Amino acid sequence: MSEFLVNLLGERLVNSEKAEVDVQSLGAKLSLVGLFFGCSLNAPCKQFNGSLCEFYTRFKKACEHKDKLEIVFISSDQDQKHWQDFLQEMPWPALPFKDRHKKDRPAVWLLALPYMDLCSR
């Protein structure tokens, strides 16, 4: 999964402390990656973020497979300050603000389509 994630997201993500996260080493241990497409100014995204944080925190504390799942935030924010503030609420890494254009790549949307299809039902 490592090579796939590097091709999709690039070599580095960032966390809320602005530390870099190496995608190659992150992907080596994962079985499932959730891509959270969102925007800090969108009320449903903010609400979903709270629920997702709650799930993620419980999963990482209690599940024996806690190292097999990671979520990556992919922002639609146009303002870096808004992006930074929203990222502070997240316990998972994010695509760096300067790389947010990568969300427009077809491979990213191919991964998101099954989820979007479920949401439209």
Query: What pTM does this model have?
Result: 0.83
Single-letter amino acid, residue 113: L
Q: CB within 8 A of 65, min separation 6: which ones?
A: 31
- Residue 67 is given by DSSP the state G
Q: What does the pLDDT profile of the chain (121 residues) look like in tens digits?
A: 678 888 888 899 999 998 999 999 888 888 888 989 999 999 999 999 999 999 999 999 999 999 999 999 999 999 999 999 999 999 999 999 998 877 766 555 555 544 443 343 3
